[in-house]
Amino acid sequence: MSDTFNFYSFLAFTGCLAAGLFFAWLLYGKNSNLTRPVNTGLAVIRTVTLTLILWLVFSPLLKQTSYTLEKPIVVIAQDNSASIAAFKPAGFDSIKYRKSLQQLQAELSEKYEVRTYSFNDRVVSGLDFSYKGKLTNVAQLISKLNDELLNKNVGAVIIATDGIFNRGGNPAQELALLKAPVYTIALGDTIPKKDILISAVNVNDLVYLDNNFRMEIQVQAFQCDEVPIQLTVLEDGKKVYEKAVQVTSAQFLKNIPVNLKASKIGQHKYTISLAPVDKEISTKNNVYQTLVDVIDERQKILIAAAGPHPDLAALKQAIGLNKHHEVSVVLNDALLKIDPKVYGLIILYQLPDNQFDAGSFLAKIKTEKVPLWYIVGMQSNPGRFNQVQQQVSFAGNSIPQYQYSAIDQNLSVFDLDPVSRKVIENFDPLQSPSGVFKILGTQQVVLDQRNGKAKTDRPQLFFMNDNGRKVGYLIGEGLWKWKLSEARENPQTPVFNDLMGKVVQYLSVKDDKRKFKVRPVKNTFEENDQVLLNALLYNDSYQPVNTPDVNLLLKDEKGKTYNFTFSRYESSYQLDAGVLPPGNYSYTASTKLGNQHYQDKGSFFVNTLTAEFQQTLANHQLLYQLAAQTNGKLYLPDQLLKIKDDLIQSNQLKTLSYEDRKYEELINLKSLFVLIMVMLSIEWFIRKRNSAL
């Protein structure tokens, strides 16, 4: 049936009524046992009952209309950050302000729907006046209001804050989505007070041992004209820098470079502080702490050869450009005094040589896991070469051949840009024995040999793995020609130097083969951050597993300990240690897999948040702009009870009425079913009483 009473509905209803009249006439038209009034009444009941029953067969729809009233929503949001309590204007009564805001909430609730929030770095429902927030993020508040109240009847937004927003973006654009006026209550103090602070510290959190590094310290001072201030830098509690800074203006800003040296491996805490000045409004912003990790990435590289060759000088110069590589060239019998295990990489230049076997030296190398780079040339001894290693086998004669270089199409161990690829393929050819080199195992190829313009499938520079030891091979001598060919176009030879550096870096970098590793997601956490740590556990096949429990003992700098158990996450582990107080923390993680016990140690730092004390002046201008652009108004704390009257007079807060229409099948009405049963029962009772059945 249609949802409107049209012509066809009229015909159907008429037919049902006619049928009801017809059956009533058949039953009561000539019934002489009943009085006329009773007969007529029963005929009417029968007509109505049959008409309704037959009408329900056509499933008619019943239109229902309801109205919903939606009161205007008034939002009251209170800034609950630390700056509200720390920088109060003269004469400000916190208790009176709190009672006034609560009174405003109660009065508005009589006429409107009031929703209250408190915000700092998080947004919570209700009014909170503890002022313990470490950050102020009003953009997060606006985002939450948009999520909860978008397309709702928002009449007004009242925000009580000092305008010091140190997290999040500009709230102006997000506020426009609410389409409601914003009324701001201007808290905080706009009168400048005497204050000095460290506003920023820029320093690399990772430096190399024995390197000099710079720390940039930004010092600010307000209302301290002509007042000397003392800057001090401590490394692990020991003074490493001190300077007197002369303030020259009422609003003073200066960047101070501090040159330091990384003299000891490990994690070092630097404390940068300014000595307090007389009548300073806050000293919490006078101190800044940061961590710097000092690591030793220096590698000793040994170039071992039977005698002098121009290639040795080219190699040493290219590798030595990396200040973390200490390169030594050792020849002939001097190799017998070398201890291989002190080196991060040994380059065997044409060793074993036809004239110098270097057997004792090569035997020492075999017992160590030091990475090797074999460079095979015309002076190499093919038979001994096949004996000292098993990855590459040489067969054939030692007649010299010249082979150009081509970048392997499957190069993946490191990247070479298009310019470098072109330069390398224009290098002069290397000289190598003309025999066949057979590779026994899987190789990662960097360069292939090229005969003129014809590329071959024979590798020239490639890497292999010898039972966990990285091994590199270069088939050919004449590296000095590579350097010379590039020097014709660029005397600095950056491509040759970069290629040699990449090869050495790949071979010498140490793989972390530990089966159990625990690391925090970052070395320095802020005071309100969730401290997260990740853990990985490998079985003997180096497949990640997370079957056993992983426990962690956390200790702060005062000796207090915390015990945690990691949660399993996919094939690894993760720990959320929650929010921790500022300070240094060390941890020891342990687990057991089979009969093996594993342990890993580390540390991290939780930094004190001073963002709320970096700016002491309230930004009432920003609050005025937010109110003005939304047709709102700015109020001082002692004026906030006027907000209710202004809202009523503005006529912007109106109750909305929503009409709700729905159609329901008539057969679903229980009252209609009851009516039919009652009418049938009445008819039956009357007929029974009058013996008409």
| 189/197 Cα distance (integer angstroms) | 18
- Looking at residue 605, its amino acid is F
Q: How far is CA 621 from the centre of its chain?
A: 33
Question: Using 50, 70 and 90 to split pLDDT, how confident is the model at 29?
Answer: confident
Question: Using 50, 70 and 90 to split pLDDT, how confident is the model at 657?
Answer: low
pLDDT at 686 over 90: no
Closest CA to 170 of 489, 580, 515, 625: 625
What number is the average pLDDT over the span 660-688? 78
pLDDT at 575 over 50: yes
Q: What number of CA atoms fall less than 13 Å from residue 463's CA on the CB side?
A: 19
Closest CA to 538 of 512, 510, 565: 512
Dihedral of the alpha carbons of 407, 408, 414, 417, in degrees to the nearest 10? 40
| 459/456 Cα distance (integer angstroms) | 8
In the sheet with 572-576, reading across from the earlier edge strand, the strands are 516-520, 532-537, 572-576, 567-569
Provide the token pair at 501.
């550096």
Q: Which residue has the higher pLDDT, 298 or 77?
A: 77
* pLDDT attached to residue 24: 81
| 550/541 Cα distance (integer angstroms) | 20
* pLDDT attached to residue 3: 46
| 325/297 Cα distance (integer angstroms) | 8
| 242/340 Cα distance (integer angstroms) | 45
Please provide residue 346's backbone torsions phi and psi, each rounded to the nearest 5 degrees.
Answer: -120, 125
Element holding 450 (H helix, E strand) = strand 444-451
pLDDT in tens, 433-468: 988 889 998 999 999 999 988 889 899 999 999 988
Provide the token pair at 346.
């040994």
pLDDT in tens, 231-241: 999 999 999 99
Helix (H, G, I), strand (E, B) or coil at 453: coil
Work out the mean pLDDT of the chain and round it to a whole number. Answer: 89
Please provide residue 546's backbone torsions phi and psi, each rounded to the nearest 5 degrees.
Answer: -140, 35
* pLDDT attached to residue 608: 87
pTM above 0.95, yes or no: no
**Over the Cα atoms of the chain, what is R_g?**
43
* pLDDT attached to residue 691: 64
pLDDT at 680 over 90: no
Closest CA to 86 of 138, 135, 131: 131
What number is the average pLDDT over the span 162-168? 88
DSSP character string of 259-307: EEE--SSEEEEEEEEE---TT-S-SGGGEEEEEEEEE---EEEEEEESS
Question: Using 50, 70 and 90 to split pLDDT, how confident is the model at 1?
Answer: very low
Lowest mean pLDDT among 185-189, 508-512, 658-662: 658-662
pLDDT at 288 over 80: yes
What number is the average pLDDT over the span 298-319? 95
Q: What single-letter DSSP state applies at residue 362?
A: H
What number is the average pLDDT over the span 649-663? 75
* pLDDT attached to residue 31: 65
- Within 8 A by CB and 6+ apart from 148, the residues are none
Is residue 335 within 8 Å of residue 361, measured between CB atoms? yes
The 3-state secondary structure of 5-61, one letter per residue: CCHHHHHHHHHHHHHHHHHHHHHHCCCCCCCHHHHHHHHHHHHHHHHHHHHHCCCCE
pLDDT in tens, 88-136: 998 899 999 999 999 999 999 999 999 999 999 899 999 999 999 999 9
Is residue 139 within 8 Å of residue 170, measured between CB atoms? yes
Q: What single-letter DSSP state applies at residue 391?
A: S
* pLDDT attached to residue 506: 92
Element holding 607 (H helix, E strand) = strand 596-607
* pLDDT attached to residue 309: 96
* pLDDT attached to residue 2: 42
Is residue 93 within 8 Å of residue 622, measured between CB atoms? no
* pLDDT attached to residue 693: 56
Q: Which residue has the higher pLDDT, 305 or 56?
A: 305
Q: Which residue has the higher pLDDT, 135 or 672?
A: 135
Q: What number of CA atoms fall less than 13 Å from residue 415's CA on the CB side?
A: 2
DSSP character string of 65-94: EEEEEEPPEEEEEEE-BHHHHHSPPTT--H
pLDDT in tens, 585-605: 999 999 999 889 999 999 999
Q: Which residue has the higher pLDDT, 678 or 242?
A: 242
